Amino acid sequence: MGSAITLTAEEVLFLIRLPLRLRGTWITWRTGFDPYFLMSRETFYRHARVLSAKYGVEIRKPFVASK
């Protein structure tokens, strides 16, 4: 088994404020999986566009934790 993913307080608030339809995509990306392979191409790019434009999150690139 892999190690547990811990969200910061800011990430938890961000997740709560996301629309329900984007939460699964964001949490999938945040845990290190590429959501491109878990949904249709159209859905992935639609979610990527909204997350980038409205929330400043770029899911087209792998998640990199800031230190």
User: Tens digit of pLDDT for each residue in 13-55?
Assistant: 999 999 999 999 999 999 999 999 999 999 999 999 999 999 9
Domain contains 41:
yes
44 close to 36: Cβ distance less than 8 angstroms: yes
pTM: 0.87
Domain contains 5:
no
Q: Which domain, by its residues, includes 23?
A: 19-67
Tokens standing for 66? 């800031």
Query: Could you give the number of structural domains in the chain?
Result: 1
How far apart, in whole angstroms, are the C-alpha atoms of residue 9 and residue 7?
7
